[in-house]
Amino acid sequence: EDQVTQSPEALRLQEGESSSLNCSYTVSGLRGLFWYRQDPGKGPEFLFTLYSAGEEKEKERLKATLTKKESFLHITAPKPEDSATYLCAFSLSGGYNKLIFGAGTRLAVHP
């Protein structure tokens, strides 16, 4: 069965304390691994798409990496405004089509 698991469920960091969020998957025929950020009461905001093992993408304090079994979202020197729920999702059908989401990691960054 295709599924994606995110860990930890919740993470509390001090401002400046770097860490990583994990997204492990068992998907046959993965066509894309996506990372989104979601603030309370809002829709998800796109961060990254990764397509092949070894691929890495960066945006400000965030860096996403992909292996054959998992993806990591590294957060370097986080700030309180990075507090949000981070969701990973996969696509089986290629491109930006039907996405299946993990349960998310709720990140809280304290000053």
**Which of 1, 54, 60, 95: binder of another protein (CB under 8 A)?**
95
Assigned token pair, 51: 């397509």
> What is the footprint of another protein within residues 15-34 (CB under 8 A)?
34
| Least Å from the CB of residue 46 to another protein | 7
The alpha carbon dihedral of 58, 35, 13, 85 has a sign of: positive
Stretch near another protein under the rule CB under 8 A, chosen from 36-44, 54-62, 64-72, 73-81: 36-44
Instruction: Tell me the sheet residues that pair with 84.
Output: 107
> What is the footprint of another protein within residues 47-86 (CB under 8 A)?
none
Assigned token pair, 15: 């401002």
**Structure-token match 């491109």, residue found:** 95
Instruction: Tell me the sheet residues that pair with 57.
Output: 64
Instruction: Find all residues with CB under 8 Å of 85, minimum gap 6, and list them.
Output: 37, 38, 39, 40, 104, 105, 106, 107
Stretch near another protein under the rule CB under 8 A, chosen from 17-25, 43-51, 61-69, 76-84: 43-51
Helix (H) or strand (E) holding 43: none
**Residue 1 makes contact with another protein by CB under 8 A:** no
| Least Å from the CB of residue 54 to another protein | 21
Q: Which residues bind another protein (CB under 8 A)?
A: 34, 36, 41-46, 87, 95-104, 106
